[in-house]
């Protein structure tokens, strides 16, 4: 009867019942250990996921910052070329900017 109770709901076992049957007590200890191992494994998975998310976020921010910096440098070059009297077509060819982008400078 004790084994049936244990199998149906291991957490419902009283200390006294487990003292009566050392095998049930050992089974409960193993079950608790397995639960702890699963908990620790889940925590490790979550930590690993956070590390991967952080790295992905850093890579995205770096790439985004690089692209913005590159775009700002190109705009600065185009502005200098406009101030020097270069034709829009030449600026478009050298910088890769569109006519509209150059006219907005």
Residue 1, pLDDT above cutoff 80: no
Q: Which two tokens stand for residue 58?
A: 């850093």
**Residue 92 burial by CB count (10 A; 0-12/13-18/19+): exposed, middle or buried?**
middle
Question: How many domains would you assign to the chain?
Answer: 1
- Calculate the dihedral angle through the C-alpha atoms of 12, 18, 19, 22, rounding to the nearest 10 degrees: -170
Q: For residues 79 and 96, what is the distance between their CA atoms, to the nearest angstrom? A: 13
Kindly report, residue by residue over 38-97, the tens digit of the pLDDT. 999 999 999 999 999 999 999 999 999 999 999 999 999 999 999 999 999 999 999 999
Domain coverage including residue 22? 2-104
């Amino acid at each position: 009867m004790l084994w049936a109770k244990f199998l149906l709901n291991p957490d419902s076992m009283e200390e006294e019942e487990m003292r009566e049957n050392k095998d049930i007590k050992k089974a409960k200890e193993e079950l608790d250990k397995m639960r702890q191992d699963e908990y620790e494994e889940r925590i490790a998975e979550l930590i690993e996921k956070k590390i991967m998310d952080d790295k992905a976020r850093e890579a995205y921010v770096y790439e985004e910052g690089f692209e913005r910096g590159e775009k700002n440098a190109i705009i600065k070059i185009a502005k200098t070329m406009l101030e020097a009297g270069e034709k829009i077509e030449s600026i478009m060819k050298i910088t890769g900017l569109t006519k509209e982008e150059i006219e907005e400078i």
